[in-house]
Each structure stands twice: as C-alpha cells, then as structure tokens.
Structure 1
Amino acid sequence: MKVGFITIGQSPRVDVVPEILPYIPGVDVIECGALDGLSMDEIKRLAPREGDYVLVTRLRDGSEVKLSRDKIVKRLQECIDFLESKGVDVIGLLCTGEFPELSSKSAMLIEPSNLLIKLVEAINPKILGVVIPDNAQIDMTKDKWSRCCDKVIVVSFSPYSGDEKELPNVLEPLKDADLIVLDCIGYPARIKYIVKRALNIPVLLPRSVLGKVIAELGE
C-alpha cells in the first residue's frame, strides 16, 4: 500500500508522521504540504483576518503559523492531485479542520475531523472536553462539537508553542468531562498522556486514530 499525507503547513511533518508509521509498517509514504515552496511573505498573505476560520500549523523549521482555511483549500486540493499522480492508495489529511470541498478521484481520502466526529457520536459523552491550539478557534470549535454533544467545554493550548508545564492548569475546566478530544493533529502522544494523567479521562488523539484507520484499510 502507498500512503500520501497532506499537511496544511510544510512537509515533511517530522513531528507527526513518525508517530503514525508504527501503525502502518512497511508502507510507502509520500508527503505534500500546502505551504511547500512558498516564501515567508507568501505565507504571511495566507494569515487569517477577523472572522476567518483559523487553522494553526507548523513550518519545516518547527515554528508555528496561523492560516485562513479558505485561503489554503485550493493548495490542499493541488496536493491531493499531486499525490494521486504518484499512485497513492490512501490520502490522510494531517489536520482536524473541516474541508468538505476536498475530493480525490483515485485514492481514499481520510479526514480526521470526520473520523473524530463519528467516534464521539458513537461514544455519546454527556460532557465533551476539547483542547485546541488557539483562542481564536473557540467559537467555531463549540459550534462543530455541539452538533454531536449536549455540552462542550473548550480550552486552548498550542502543541507548537505551549509550555507543557502549564498544561495541567489549562485543563482544569475539563475536569468534569466524560471524554477529551485533542482537536489538532499537532498534539503528540506525549500530550495525550499528560492530559490522561491530569484528568484520568479517556482521550482521543487524532494522529493515532488516523494511523489505526489507515492500518485497518491496508489489512
């Protein structure tokens, strides 16, 4: 099986893909990034304005960058087209944002946002806690998750620039949740375990969910 991964930032995602690969040993992997080949000035022009759907990602040098979802959709579709030309069987989107416009003609396109929503609907928690990278995403996150949960509590902690020593304090509002979603592909397994230890609540980690689903498709 040949798998393509698309990041909304720059590839390769050395912080994400190595944690997915143990679920899919032996597969060929090709990466593509929406910001690949762009100068910093060009990247800055993709920044969100007030009211935009905000996304947070990582550049190749490890630095954090904020993007407007609508400004990168076209570039994401170009990544899909590129990966299709390379003959991939499965395309995994390395982002938990919602992209209903994206499509693939010859490969299975897997969006973690869709996987997580269906999982949460199946688990049916009374109170859902959600961790996101940036405060600017709080309103849209509540809107997204209130579709499948009666009560949603959202806190923000950046997987790229946050101080992990402060994370237990950030998590305090989520102490009564039945389930936690780390709503960004940038959160590593290390963050999941910090959350689990702090709250003793089940935690869904997008990159491991994505890896396990791709593994299931390849068996």
Structure 2
Amino acid sequence: MKSSKKIVGFITIGESPRTDITSEIKPLLGANIEIMECGALDGLGKDEIKDLATKPGDYVLVTRLRDGTAVKLSRDKIVSRMQRCINNLETHVDVIGLLCTGDFPELSSRKIMIEPSRLIMNVVSSLSNIKRLGVIVHDKEQVRMEEERWGRIINDVIVVPVSAYLSTEDDFRRAAEYLRDSDVDLVILDSLGYNIKMKNIVREVSGKPVILPRTVMAEIIRELTA
C-alpha cells in the first residue's frame, strides 16, 4: 500500500525558498515528502534587513538572501521572526526543520522540530576518540563563539572561517589542508549553507571524516516520516 504524503516545514533565518539547500535535501527525504518553507526575512525590504544586522558582541549568524547575497544577522533580532514562521507552518506540516545550526533555545513548536545545533552537537558527543575537532564557519566574527560553543564538549577545537556563499573551491582546499596539518580527528561544516560538493572537497583534501548538517538532518527527517 502506497504511503500517504508527509509535509516537512523548513525555516530559514534568511529568505525562502532556500532552493540551494532543499535541492540537495529533497532527494534524501523520499518520494512521499512535500516541502513548505518560511523565512525570517520574508517580506522585508533592504533597509529592514539592515536593521537586523549585528553590532559588536552579538551572536553572529550568516545567511543567504533569495538573490544570493550573503548577510550577517544578530541572532537576538530574528528569534521572534523565526517563532512566527514556526507558528505559521506547524498547523500545515508533520515535522519542522530549522535551516540553521545556531542555538535557539527559545523556539518551540507543537510539532516535532529538528534543531541542527542540538542534533550535530549530540552526534559529536556520541563519538568516541575525538580529541581534536575541526570546525568550519562562514565568518571570522564567528570563530571565538564557535570555539567556546564546541569547547563545551571537546577540549581541543580549531575553527576556520570559510564562507559557503563567498569563498572559492581553493579557499575550501586551503582550509582543509590547514585542518589536515593540524591533525584534527573530525571536521564539522557548521552551517546548513555548506553543500555536498564542499564536504567532498574538505574530506578529500583533509583525509578526515566530515559531518555535513544538511544531510544529517535529512536522514533524521526521513526516519521520522517513513
């Protein structure tokens, strides 16, 4: 008997649709999945988006607009807009997935919601013999924050900034070489913005196992909706 369609709601901190992400996630979810999206910046003009930008000391998030432009946002300024997206989607979907690895403990949903930050952190926590962790993030302003964040579970953390939206393949190769020479045991591409091609470059050059949040989340959603 053919299974009924399930609907997954994806919420981005930028503008929807995030076809750069869903184009890779959808084939992993299975044929019975439909996708609905909502973006925290949907409907905002350029000046309104600028008002959500970071100031010194803010928790920095990096995302992509619909036209491909990369922007930096203050986490605290978009939390309420993300919750609004959850409220809008949860009556229509079976499962919700956040398209961001930032920490959002304030968010809540009446449906099952996958938070990649907690998901990937718990995956790494479950792995034995990870003595030195390599982490790739979008922007140099995120480095110290990520060192502290991952330092809660791994004592030795090396964070390298390489933007998923602005960097070249050579930038990823150089970062992978640096992490290889630093003798990390595992690499995390710590954003939903990083894609499978970027993962493959880092894995091949570094010779280390690499975790890609978008595919890990897709596998969990597939398990929940099978």
**TM-score of the pair, normalised by structure 1:** 0.97
What residue in structure 2 maps to residue 206 of structure 1? 213
Q: Which residue of 14, 22, 32 maps to 2:19?
A: 14
Q: How does 1:52-201 map to 2 (within 5 A)?
A: 52-85=58-91, 87-105=92-110, 107-124=111-128, 125-175=130-180, 176-201=183-208
Q: Which residue of 8, 26, 49 maps to 1:43?
A: 49
SS of the residue corresponding to residue 85 of structure 2 reads helix
Distance 2:81 2:69 in 1: 20
CA positional deviation for 1:129: 0.3
Distance 2:171 2:54 in 1: 27
SS of the residue corresponding to residue 17 of structure 1 reads helix
Distance 1:135 1:159 in 2: 13
Q: Which residue identity does 1:108 align to in structure 2?
A: I
Distance 1:14 1:23 in 2: 14
CA positional deviation for 1:170: 2.4
Give the percent of matched residue pairs that are identical in Structure 1 and Structure 2.
Answer: 53
Q: Deviations over 1:130-152 (max 9, x none)?
A: 00000000111011101111210
**TM-score of the pair, normalised by structure 2:** 0.94
Q: Which residue identity does 2:186 align to in structure 1?
A: L
SS of the residue corresponding to residue 161 of structure 1 reads coil
Distance 1:109 1:28 in 2: 16
Q: Deviations over 1:1-42 (max 9, x none)?
A: 211000000000010011111121221210000000000000
Q: How many residues align?
A: 217
Q: Which residue identity does 1:201 align to in structure 2?
A: K
Q: Deviations over 1:82-122 (max 9, x none)?
A: 0013x2110000000000000002x1111111110001001
Q: Is the 8 A contact 1:153 1:173 kept in 2?
A: no
Distance 2:136 2:90 in 1: 33
SS of the residue corresponding to residue 153 of structure 2 reads coil
Distance 1:157 1:166 in 2: 7
Q: Is the 8 A contact 2:176 2:203 kept in 1?
A: no
* 5+ residue gaps, structure 2: 1-5
Q: Which residue identity does 2:188 align to in structure 1?
A: V
